Chains A and B, each alone.
Chain A
Amino acid sequence: MPADFNWAIGGEAGDGIDSTGKIFAQALSRAGRHVFTSKDFASRIRGGYTAYKVRTAVDPVQSVVDRLDVLIALTPRTIEENLDELHEGSVIIYDGERTTMEDVEIPEGMIGLEVPLKRLAEEAGGAIMRNVVALGAACEVAEFPIENLDSALEKRFGSKGQQLVDNNKEAARKGQDYVGDEYDHDFDYDLETTDEDYVLLNGDEAIGMGAIAAGCKFYAGYPITPATDVMEYLTGRIQNFGGHVVQAEDELSAINLALGAARAGARSMTATSGPGIDLMTETFGLVATSETPLVICDVMRSGPSTGMPTKQEQGDLDMLLYGGHGEIPRFVLAPTTISECFWKTVEAFNLAEKYQTPVYLTADLSLAVTEQTFSPEEFDMDEVEIDRGKVVDDDTISEWQNEKGQFQPHALTDDGVSPRAFPGTGEGAHMSTGLEHDELGRRTEDTEMRIEQVDKRNRKVETARNEEDWSPREFGDPDSDNLVISWGSNEGAMVEAIDLLEEDGVDVRFLSIPYMFPRFDLNEAFENADEVVVVECNATGQFADVVEHDTLTRVKRVNKYNGVRFKADELAEDIKQTLEA
């Protein structure tokens, strides 16, 4: 048997798919197993189909694969949707007493387990628990100790009273016993447990947690899939740390609220998806020109326009790099894993304040809604460092006043960074504006000052380029002639693909790029490579274009834009074929 186990529950939207899947994922995590989850929406048929998939192993898992071992099917369509991933010996758990499932046909070679989910749930106290009956059945199939499920059920239902928790535990046992009694079959699975303690979280939650860790106290946003989880995470938590979340009337307002808070001295942020970035682009130039530190998070989804709002895509890169009229200095960060979502958020706040420049922090849908297990040490809060940059106070402000005693918020400096005085600082009153301005922040059309201020703002980026570490994350064989480059969430699938490629006799060096601007200089890596492949989830190869521009070298491209993330086995095959082409 493979070292990993792949499980899913699927049905109609509203069937409680997400919460059931989350309970199982948590049970596995609490049992000391690594977990990687994904949410599946209709791929071939339009409609309300939804599924929650869990991949688990004792060793870390960081991707999905094209294989499904146990499926809880609440609808016939769930089976149909997953035919490609089901295999000989896959187990399908379903309620044969449910009218819609009566005539369901289990594909040749697979094992259908007919479990009266609803009836058993009713016996345990209510039909609503039928999914938990199915979880119990799955525990029996996978030889996974059901006590781990109890602990997840306690976490999920504990706040609603012990009776409900007990009923659910009973429901799970009914499912477990039914399979044990009715099916005399060894399914060959054995989900062993370990003593490790893992945390289970998704990318949006990691971004929200990173914001609080970084001292972010103000968040304004407008709900949008798949960024809403950032806002929902912060709501209810940030106030415990002296902060506040405002739900704005639209994204135009959200970024301006966040801008106002940043002008007042708060570490401030907004998060949205591509359609929101379209609107925020109006104010983005103002943020940069007024030299306001602001973190703007774009959790990308499939576009253009409304596109496929619940699907994966990395289509916003060009907009993040170049969006807005005029030439706007900026930083663009793209965390490549869920734990990096946390650390890059912390870094984004430091970059924003150190250089008084807006920072785009971009994740994609796959990172945002995927949950993964980590050792809690990966989020060691003691490692969080805060750098607020050149802030002046009542005592130091005089160093930055002109001969008239006026504070100069846009003073021309060698590194391009000017002093920052929070409102309330004595003798610091000053204005700032989206107009070109002088050192005092007042409008000017003086040709020399225009050049000096443009150069000063751009100089900040150059200073950062020299002073900060923009290194990529490196995997695979450092001496390989085959260089693979990707950005964002593709890292996990690619890291697993390296092992699969190796089994096929193909070695690669893999650079996972978390900094889109400024960027690591790839020229040296190119000199040592015969073949370069750039992997990304978009149709036109936006990052491949950037890489070609930087290196003046043509690259090969692997693009996926059907709305589904790369799977490790599929990506390995794509890389292999592209290298051979």
Chain B
Amino acid sequence: MSSEIRFTDFKSDKQPTWCPGCGDFGTMNGMMKALANTGNDPDNTFVVAGIGCSGKIGTYMHSYALHGVHGRALPVGAGVKLANPDLEVMVAGGDGDGYSIGAGHFVHAVRRNVDMTYVVMDNRIYGLTKGQASPTSREDFETSTTPDGPQQPPVNPMALALASGATFIAQSFSTDAQRHAEIVQKAIEHDGFGFVNVFSPCVTFNDVDTYDYFRDSLVDLAEEGHDPTDYDAAKDAILDADKEFQGVVWQNEESVPYGEKHGVTENMSDVDEGAPEGAMDLVREFY
């Protein structure tokens, strides 16, 4: 069946309400391509989305999906995957969802290393609430709630991930369609938590981190000969504040996903018609 799957099968019949030109269109297309390329189909795929412009993605894609509360998409995704390891689980959210309200979950999802993919549509702005600073906004980025800029350094999500023991860290650019799809595909194929931060420009509220800005500043790690299995090289690239890059920056080839470590491999949706066999032994324990 998988060979017949095309990426458009992952598209729903609902038209996105994202602003024309929004980076999220490209981000989503790449996700759909990567899912199709890895042999998945909508009925074995589960997409979890958070809140914000990015959160609408579950409506525009065709798969099993849950659009949850703000910042908590990652634990939902982990729950889905552990309860049914046969599913392909992809979590999508924005920079506010993942690095602000959900930052705590991000750290622990990275540590937990459940075999799933996390795509963050990072536009460095709050778009759905019409233009306030996000955790990845620049220090001097003026917005309605930060007239002088946030005056705080932006979060470095990849550094946060690396410090939390990530096994796969990548970055992509939504408009570089082929490269973006390729990078998400690598995250899906990774045995463990595949994290991709995607530059997904907001054309309405962010006039700094624009398509032109990324086109001019972005370097591709692959072209630079970066070895993603070299931890020190990954660390240097991630901590270089002046460098905007795309590509897989770190991959731990020894990664053993949570499910495998804990022997969680069975689909939990099957339940016996009565108490499971051996349940009476539980009572006898209390003698």
A-side residues, CB < 8 A to B, are 29-30, 197-201, 205, 209, 212-215, 217-218, 220, 237, 239-244, 246, 248-250, 252-254, 256-268, 282-283, 286, 290, 376, 379, 381-382, 384-386, 388, 404, 422-435, 442-443
Q: Mark B262-286, 1 if CB is under 8 A from A, else 0.
A: 1110111111111110111011101
Cβ-closest chain B residue relative to A264: B83
Convert B55-82 into 0s and 1s, putting 1 for each residue whose CB lies closer than 8 angstroms to a CB of A. 0101100111111110010111111111
Q: Is B86 in contact with chain A by the CB < 8 A criterion?
A: yes
In the bound complex, do residue A379 and residue B283 qualify as a contact, i.e. CB atoms below 8 Å apart?
A: yes
Q: Is B199 an interface residue (CB 8 A)?
A: no
> Are B276 and A256 in touch, CB under 8 angstroms?
no
Most buried by A among B75, B276, B278: B75
Taken together as a complex, chains A and B put the C-alpha atoms of A243 and B267 apart, in Å, by: 10
A323 to chain B, nearest CB (A): 15
B226 at the interface (CB under 8 A from A): no
Contacts of A379 on B, CB cut-off 8 Å? 283
- Per a CB cutoff under 8 Å, which of B76, B82, B279 touches A213? B279
Q: Which residues of B contact A430 (CB under 8 A)?
A: 64-65
Docked CA distance A435–B66 (Å)? 11
Beta-carbon contact of B67 and A435 below 8 Å = yes
Q: Is the pair A443, B59 in contact by a Cβ cutoff of 8 Å?
A: yes
Inter-chain contacts of B286 with A (CB < 8 A): 199-201, 205, 376
- Selecting from B41-49, B171-179, B213-221, B233-241, the interface stretch reads B41-49
Are the C-beta atoms of B268 and A442 separated by less than 8 Å?
A: no
B276 & A261 in contact (Cβ 8 Å cutoff): no
B122-137 Cβ-contact flags toward A at 8 Å (1 or 0): 0000000000000000
> Are A283 and B64 touching (Cβ within 8 A)?
no
Known: A209-B283, A260-B76. 6 other contacts (CB 8 A): A249-B104, A259-B76, A283-B68, A382-B274, A429-B45, A431-B63
Chain B's closest residue to A282 (CB) is B69
**Is B46 a contact of A217 with CB atoms below 8 Å?**
no
CB-CB under 8 A for A246 and B82, given A264-B269, A265-B269: yes
Q: Are A263 and B266 in contact (CB under 8 A)?
A: no
Quick one: given A246-B78, A290-B66, A429-B62, are A424 and B84 in contact (CB under 8 Å)?
Answer: yes
B48 in contact with A384 (CB, 8 Å): no
- The answer to whether A218 and B82 touch across the interface, beta carbons within 8 angstroms, is yes
Would you list 24 pairs from A and B whose C-beta atoms are within 8 A, ordered by A residue? A200-B286, A212-B275, A214-B275, A215-B276, A218-B83, A241-B276, A244-B264, A244-B268, A256-B72, A256-B105, A257-B82, A260-B82, A261-B79, A262-B83, A263-B46, A263-B66, A264-B83, A264-B268, A265-B268, A266-B84, A376-B284, A385-B274, A434-B69, A442-B59
**A212-B276 contact given A263-B76, A282-B69, A424-B84, CB 8 Å threshold:** yes
Q: Is the CB of A422 within 8 A of B269?
A: yes
Question: In the complex, which range does the number of interface residues on chain B fall in?
Answer: 35 or more
Contacts of A239 in B (CB 8 A): 263
Whether B43 and A428, one on each chain, are in contact in the complex, defined by CB atoms closer than 8 angstroms, is: yes
Query: Is the beta-carbon distance between A431 and B64 smaller than 8 angstroms?
Result: yes
A385 and B272 alpha carbons, distance in the complex (Å)? 10
Chain B residues with CB under 8 Å of A256's CB are 68-69, 72, 75-76, 79, 105
Chain A's interface: helix, strand, loop or mixed, by majority?
mixed
The residue from B42, B72, B266, B279 contacting A384, defined by CB atoms under 8 A apart: B279
From residue A57, how far is it (CB to closest CB) to chain B in Å? Answer: 19
Residues in A with CB closer than 8 Å to B86 are: 424
Chain B at the A interface: mostly helix, strand, loop or mixed? mixed
Contacts of B76 in A (CB 8 A): 256-257, 259-260, 263
Q: How far is the CA of A385 from the CA of B42 in the complex (A)?
A: 34
CB-based contact A260/B79 at 8 Å: yes
Q: What separation, in Å, do the CA atoms of A257 and B80 have in the docked complex?
A: 8
Q: How far is the CA of A386 from the CA of B279 in the complex (A)?
A: 14
Please, how many angstroms separate the alpha-carbon atoms of A262 and B132 in the complex? 35
Q: Which of B78, B107, B108 contacts A260 (CB 8 A)?
A: B78
Q: For B64, what are the chain A residues with a Cβ–Cβ distance below 8 Å? A: 263, 423-424, 428-431
Contacts known (A260-B79, A290-B66, A429-B43); A212 close to B108, Cβ less than 8 A:
no
**Complex contacts, A215 vs chain B, CB 8 Å:** 271-272, 275-276
In the complex, what distance in Å separates the CA atom of A149 from the CA atom of B62?
Answer: 64
List of B residues within 8 angstroms of A261 by Cβ = 79-80, 82-83, 268
Q: In the complex, what residues of B have CB within 8 A of residue A385's CB? A: 274
C-alpha spacing A385/B282, complex, angstroms: 17
B24–chain A nearest beta-carbon distance, Å? 16
- Across the interface, B43 reaches (CB within 8 A) one of A29, A253, A376, A425, namely A425
Instruction: Verify A376–B79 contact, CB threshold 8 A.
Output: no
Shortest B48–chain A CB gap in Å is 7
**Contacting pair A264 B65 (CB below 8 A):** no
Asked if residues A252 and B72 are in contact (CB atoms below 8 Å), the reply is yes
Given A253-B108, A386-B273; A242-B266 close (CB under 8 Å) = yes
Q: Kindly state the separation between the CA atoms of A376 and B75 in the bound complex, as whole angstroms.
A: 38
Are the CB atoms of B279 and A423 closer together than 8 Å?
Answer: no
State whether A265 touches B283 (Cβ < 8 A): no
Shortest Cβ distance from residue B235 to the other chain A in the assembled complex, whole angstroms: 24
Q: How far is the CB of B19 from chain A (nearest CB, A)?
A: 17
Cβ-defined contact, A286 with B68, below 8 A: yes
Chain A residue nearest to B263 (CB atoms) is A239
Most buried by A among B14, B59, B266: B59
